[in-house]
Structures are given as C-alpha cells and as structure tokens.
Amino acid sequence: MATKTTVLTGLDAVDLAAAIRDGQFTAEEIVEAHLSRIEAVDQQIEAWAFLDPDHARKQAIQADKRRRAGQPIGPLHGVPVGVKDIIDTRDMPTENGTVLDKDRRPTNDAAVVAELRAAGAVILGKTVTTELAYYFPNKTKNPHDLARTPGGSSSGSAAAVAAGMVPVAIGTQTNGSIIRPASFCGVVGYKPTWGLIPRTGVLAQSFSLDTIGTFGRSVADVALLADCLIGHDQGDPATAPIAHQGLLAAAQSEPPMEPLFAFVKSPVWDQAEDTSQKAFAEITQFLGEQCDPVELPDIFADGYILQRRLMTAGFAHNLGHYERRDRQQLSQQMQEAIDEGRGVPAHDYLAAVDGIGVLNAGLDEIFKRYDAILTPSAPGAAPSSLSSTGNPAFCTLWTLAGTPAITLPLLRDDDGFPIGVQLIGKRGNDARLMRVAAWLAKAVGASETKEG
C-alpha cells in the first residue's frame, strides 16, 4: 500500500506545485515526505553536501502561512529544490567541493537562488559537486547501482532527483556536467542557451562556457524550474533583457507539425559503446522519415581543442587562487588543468572565442530544415567505476556552441541501465527545443505502452 511519502516523492514538480495551489497538500507535508525519503536512502547514495531538515521545515511552514493568508504565491510555491554546492546561498554553506572552502558562508544569494526564493521554492539543501566542478569525483553514487558513477560535476543534483529525494534541482555545465549525469542517472537534464540564466554568485570556471541548467523527472519539470531562473542580471554581462520564452507552456503544447530530427553521430561516434550505437539505430528507425543522418561541417572536429582551451584558460584565471593558496589540497587533475590553462597563448584563446560563431553558422544551416539535432548524451550507460565521472565528449561541441541541449531517459543498455537521448536546438530557441523534446518523450512512451 502506498504511503504519503511514496505518493508525494513520486509526483513531478509541476504536479506538486498544482497540488499546493489547490490545497490538496501543504508545503510542509511535501517537504516532510522528501526529508523522509532522504533519511531512507541518502546514507548509501550521498547526494547532499549540506542538509538542515529543520531549516527546510521552517521554509515550508512560512510558505504555508503565506498561502493561508491569501498572499500571492509563485510558480514554485512550496516545491523542494536542490541547489548545486557551487551556487551561493546566504543561509547555507557553499563549499565548492573542495576542503579549501570548508565552512565557507556566503553573505549573499546567487541570482538564481534569489529567483528561487521569489518563486516560492523551498531550498531543501546543497547537492554534491565534484572538486571545483571539474572531473575529480566526490562521494555521490549512482542510485541505479552504487558501484557506478553518477557522472559529474553536478553529481548530487542528478542523483537526488533520480532517487526521489527532491523533484527538481539546479546544476551547471562547462563541458558535460548537466547532460552526462542526467543521462547516467536516468533523469531529464536541460542546459539552456548560454547566457539565458544569470551566473552571478556561482563559482566561475570559463566565462564563454559556464551555463546553469536544471534537472527533473520530466520535460515539463525542467522547463518550469528554468522559467523561474531566466532573466537579465547586471552581475553577469552574458545575460541580456529578453522577452519571456515560456518554456513550460512550450513543453505542454503540441508542435504545429511532426518535428524533423537530424541524427548527428558527431566526430566522436567511435567512442559510443556498441549497446549505445544499437539503441540509437533503433530510435532513428522508430522515427523513420522524420529523422535523417546529417554530417557536421569539418570545422566541428576542431571544437574539442577550442573548448579545452577556453575551459583550462578559464581555470587558470578563475581558479588559480586555490592553487596559490595550497596546491597540494587540489587533485592532480585540477593542478594539471590550471597549469595547462596558464600555457594557452592569447591568440589561441581569442581564436577559440571566435570559433563559437563559426560553429553556430554551420548549425544554422542544419536548423533551417530540422527542428532538433538528435545525438547521444554520453558514450553509453554509467561506467562501473567511482574513480571517474565518465566521458563528456558527446556534450563538448554543444557547450562550446552555447546551444540549448536536453537529455531524455528514453533508452536502456542490455543490463537495463539508462542511456540518454540528447536533443540540441538552435541557439536562443529554447522553447522550440522544449516542445520537440516533450513530443519525442511522449511518442516513445506511447510506443512502449503499445508494445507492452
């Protein structure tokens, strides 16, 4: 028999928000259910870097008081949200996954945290990140198999959502740190167009690459959360005032016609595992005439070098102070990346920045015909190892180009572990990508139901 905890932790964020608005459940009940779930499973998964149950309860009580008083409530009113531990919170520590920031207490909220509070969300806690949001693993394990990596660097956010400990969470991506862990953990992960969500108050790695994104169990959930975060902030010059895109409305609407997909293997297709290649052959066959194989222009093969230069040079600039404080407290991977970044010549860095526009010019030609690019999210299912966070190669080009990307948990390997399907949209056209992603998720789900 289902308990209240299993019912509430099984609902999507969109449904939870509606249930609170309608008075079906209180925010306190919903938060308590998720705290119970955390108590039951997080000792094994370890997705949380900081959790204060009493503080979460107090936020929920205040949310319920506000609603009972008839005061305006936001779109996330009472909904629990996990926040990656490189995003500043004035009422909780932000330790950036390194002992060098142990017990660090920011004095201000990051811009996105301020928006979460304005939307009525309950900041449940801080989710685990890898060291300084790079490759060195932290403590989190994959909920599907504790011997497998959850991916990184947003490992805690992906694992917490996958395990039902929180309905939605925020992460960041500079290479593959949203799409890869979402794929490995079998949830939906969304990386918006670069500059759509402000990064003020978030650990900086690379100005031209860093992107804040969302995790959830459905396309509608990641859209709902992102809708509350999008906006202009003077602290982040990458952002600009734009008209509201309405991602949730797009995710809940039907495309005017059946979408067309460009199946792009990308220059790293040889790194895709056999089971992954087989699974993608099946989904392209399922789409039939709606999906065509498309080759990227040759210039995309250089994208991996360009992304690496931008990332490591950014590390040297933004993270070098950690190395100067105490180099030995950093992992070998981080030390080497900072050293590498210091050796990037200025002309190579500027050429890499220019390369972003060149790549998007090539993609624009593809998007003249196709609604979205379809490609793997990762080489395969989560590797059976906790010593690394897996290979981000299938994310690199899209992070460099700054295009919106979303991964859907539509495929499985031979052992039943999730394999993500990544969809890429035209830069700046995130709403269209949401509509297409929701269509594909529904189409595949209906096909599986019919076959079952």
Residues forming the active site: 84, 153, 177
How far, in Å, CA of 125 to CA of 362, rounded? Answer: 41
Q: 124: Cβ–Cβ under 8 A, 6 or more apart, which residues?
A: 31, 34, 35, 51, 56, 80, 81, 82, 166
- The helix-helix angle for 303-318 and 346-367 (nearest 10°) equals 130
State how beta strands 418-424 and 48-51 pair: unpaired
Tell me, what amino acid is at 3? T
**Partners of 214 in the β-ladder:** 170, 190
The owner of tokens 């990641």 is 222
d(CA 283, CA 422): 12
Tell how strand 372-376 and strand 291-293 pair up: unpaired
- Beta bridge mates, 120: none
Assess contact for 194 and 209: CB atoms under 8 A. Answer: yes
d(C-alpha 97, C-alpha 183), whole Å: 22
367 — phi, psi (to 5°)?
Answer: -75, -5
Closest-CA residue to 125 (of 164, 92, 155): 92
Token output for 332: 């070998």
For the chain, the distance separating the N- and C-terminal CA atoms, rounded to the nearest angstrom, is: 24
Strand order in the sheet with 405-412: 48-51, 122-127, 80-84, 168-173, 211-216, 188-191, 405-412, 418-424, 372-376, 261-263, 291-293
Q: Could you tell me which of 260, 256, 250 has the C-alpha nearest to residue 435? A: 250
Task: Say how far apart CA 113 and CA 118 lie, in whole Å.
Answer: 9
CB atoms within 10 A of CB 444: 17
